[in-house]
Amino acid sequence: MANGSLNGRRRVVITGMGAVTPLGNDVATSWSNLIAGGSGAAPITQFDTEGFPVQFACEVKDFDPGEWIDRKQARRMDRFAQLIVAAARQAEADSGLDIAKEADRIGASIATGIGGLKSYQDCYDTLRDRGPDRVNPFAIPAIIPNMGAGWVSMELGTKGPLSSQCTACAASNMAIGDGTDAIRLGRADVMLCGGTEAAINKVGIAGFGAMRALSRRNDDPKHASRPFDAGRDGFVMGEAGAVIVIEELEHARARGAKIYAEISGYGVSSDASHITEPDPTGQNPARAMRMAMGDAGVGADQIDYINAHATSTPIGDASETRVIKLAMGEEDAYRIAVSGTKGATGHCLGAAGAVEAVFTTLAVHERTLPPTINYEVEDPECDLDYVPNESRDANVRYALNNSFGFGGHNACVVVKRWDE
C-alpha cells in the first residue's frame, strides 16, 4: 500500500468536487439543502407550460453561465454544456490542480443522456419558421452529446483521454468507472469525471410526459418525487452538472491534495430486456452491484450504505428493492441504509449518477446519510431501510452508488472512506 497500489493495481482517490444542481449552485449548498430535507421542485420557468400535463420540474435556479464562461463562448453552448463547465471549474478549484502544468496526463470523462435538446428544439423552430438560411451555424456543435466533454477539455485545458458516455441514466456512473479504468491502466494520472443534463424544455417535458413517466402532481411539486413511497406516480425531471476529480493515489499524495474518499470498485452489465422497463428478473443489475463489490474486494457484509437509483416510478423502485436483495442477500439488504436522493433533486437523467456520486462521497466523508424525503406510506414491495425524511449520522466505510438506465444499462460504483 505504501506505493499507492492495491494488489498491484493503481489506486484511485477523489480529490475535488463541483456541482450545479436543483438544490444549489455549488456542492456545499446542494449538500446542506439535501441533508436538511429540501426539495428542488417548483413550477417550470424556462418555458410556458400552458397545455402541458406536467408543469413542474427540478430546475437549476439563478444560474449565470457568465460567472464561469466567457459570455461570447457561453452563447455558443447549450445549457447542458454550460452546467458541466461550471461544475468542472468548481471541481478544479476544489482539487487545487494546476492543469496546465501536466495537461497531457489529465483527462475528462463526461456523460450526458440526451445532450443539447434545447438547441435541437431551437434549430427546428428556426428551420420551420424562418427557413434553412437562418439556422444558427453553431446549432450542431451545441446539440451533439459529446460537446459537454469537449467544452470541459477546451475550457480547462485537459489533453489526456477524453470521452463522452451517452448511456441514458447510467451514463455518468459509467463516466466515473471509465475514468477510474483510465487511471488504473496508466493512461492518465487525473480524470475529471461527471455528467450533465438540461432537458427541461418543451420537447423533454412533452416526450417524457407522453411516456407517462413523469409525476403529474402539479398542485404539489415539492412532494411529487417520493422514492419507494406507496403513492409514487412517476419521476420529476431534473437538470444538473456534476464533476468529481479522481486521481492516482501517489500523484495526490505527492502534491499534498486533500482526499475525500477512494473509488474502489466498478461494475457494469446490461439487461437485454426492454427499452424502458427494468430487467424483470433483477439478475443483471444485481450482477453489476456484485461486480462492483468484487472489484473493490468487499462482500455485502461490508457495505454500509447504498445511494439507490430510485427514480420514484412504481415499477422502478420496487424492482430496485428486489435487486438489492438479490445482490446483497436478504439479511444484509435489511441491514444496509438506502437513500433515494432523487426525492430532493428530481431525476437528472445522464447527470444523476454524478450528482449522486458527490452525495455518496459526502455521505462517506461526513459520516452522514442523506434522507429519502416524502416517504410517508410504506409499500409492501419496498420494505428496506430508506432513511425516511431525516438525515442520519452513520459510520459509513463502504458505499454503493447505483445507476440503471433506459435500454438496460447498469452501472455501480463503490466509494470507500479514506482513513489512512
Q: Which residues are catalytic?
A: 169, 309, 347
Residue whose C-alpha cell reads 450504505 in the numeric block: 305
DSSP 229: B
Grid coordinates representing 46 are 424556462
Residue whose C-alpha cell reads 410517508 in the numeric block: 376
Question: With 0-12 CB in 10 A as exposed, 13-18 as middle and 19+ as buried, what is 256?
Answer: exposed
Question: What is the C-alpha separation between 108 and 278, in angstroms, rounded?
Answer: 30
Question: With 0-12 CB in 10 A as exposed, 13-18 as middle and 19+ as buried, what is 267?
Answer: buried
Q: Identity (one letter) of the amino acid at 171?
A: A
Cα 111-193-140 angle, rounded to 5 deg: 35
Question: What is the C-alpha separation between 410 and 271, in angstroms, rounded?
Answer: 8
- Which stretches does DSSP call E strand in 173-300? 190-197, 240-248, 261-270
Q: Among 342, 350, 347, which Cα is nearest to 111's?
A: 350
Residue whose C-alpha cell reads 459510520 in the numeric block: 395
First vs last C-alpha separation in the chain: 10
Helix spans in 268-313 (H): 283-296
Question: What is the C-alpha separation between 80 and 145, in angstroms, rounded?
Answer: 9
The answer to whether 404 touches 322, Cβ cutoff 8 Å, is no
58's CB contacts (< 8 A; 6+ apart) are 22, 39, 40, 41, 42, 225, 236, 237, 238, 239, 345, 346, 348
Phi, psi of 307 (to 5 degrees): -90, 105
**Helices H / strands E in the chain, number of each:** 14, 16
